[in-house]
Structure 1
Amino acid sequence: MKNILLILSYTAILFSCKENNDQKKETKNSAKINNTVKIMENNLPYTSEQIKKYYRFNNDESAYILDIKDHLLNFTQNEINIPIKENDFDIKPNTKSKYLNIEAFNFSNNNSCKLIVYNTYGENDIQVLNVQLNSYKGNLLIDQLLLDNRFTFETEYYRTFTINKDGTIKIKKYSVDNLEYNESGDIIGKKQKPEITETIVEYKIDNDGKFVKI
């Protein structure tokens, strides 16, 4: 009788251990699935605050520069040829320019976007930091939108932006006039209170992958 009780007891313990192991395995698999789903989710809304870690202000050059030198990519001729919307000063990359991929977003109708940042040069060799959103249909580049354009040439220019889940993009453009001029147009000092101008533009990605102003 003792032997039968011992066998039953061992069987119960073994069954309990197997059940616990199965539960742990199931929990582990569930966590793995949840992590996969999390990776697949778009990191939206995405704002200009999230991109600040990729650049810094260089006091020696009085310019914003890309703070990461690894994993930079060259622009293709096709990327250079396609016009950039909201490029107010016509400051574009060239074949020697290199950009950093920041994020990728998926939208409806097989539209996707790639967020990039790069340095280039404007008039008088002024160094400029651009943040740009490129849209794709499949693997085909469709359109390009300038989200941020940072530089100083007497007047300081910069932008903030938000990319939303519904494919809308809000851009706020700022110009900051710090300098005081005389009647001849010569700089005579700095203003006590800078004059700040703000302009807001909004876009939406249409079914064809184009950035359309709304």
Structure 2
Amino acid sequence: REIIDSHAIAVVAQPQALPQTLANLRTPPALVITDSQAFRSVAADTPEAIPLTSFSILYARQKGDLVEMVRGVKRIERLAPDAKVLIAEGCTHHRQSDDIGSIKIPRWIRGIAGDGIQFAWSAGIGYPENLADYDLIVHCGGCMLNCREMQDRIAHARAAGVSITNYGVLIAYVMGILPRALQPFPDACRALESGVAQPD
């Protein structure tokens, strides 16, 4: 909707159709936005000169605090072997066999921080009161939450001294393309380059 209101043109394509779609355009797009789970293939098919990001990263900037999410993702590198990670989602949905929140993200984090990492989950309007029990919160994009609800969740994490990131930032980080995914957002790029992670 915002694209239309800005009198811009939106072109929608499946990831496998991206190369041909780009080839058909007379001028390169100003921005490519992808579903986070297609980041790797979309990044490979999008020329480096074209800015690239994800819906989840856009949500982090629109509703939350993208800079804080970027700082939070770097906490993964410093998780203790038995650290506790909360995966929080703003809605309830039928989980698939390869569910992003319950299967993929735990696998990716354990691949970086070790198999001893413990996970807990929350979904819908519920949000744990005991956030200080966790070492990291990984939140969904928050498409079902309004700005105030998302900001409240970030504020609670900050008050508890717990790092927080979101799905899109984490996925781009795991896939090694976070610097590129943040290029449209200079403040987030600076946070990534600063090397400053959230405190223990």
Query: TM-score higher than 0.5 here?
Result: no
Larger Cα-atom Rg: 1
TM-score normalized by the length of structure 2: 0.26
TM-score normalized by the length of structure 1: 0.25
* Structure with more relative contact order (C-alpha pairs < 8 Å, separation 6 or more): 2
Structure with a larger share of its residues in helix: 2
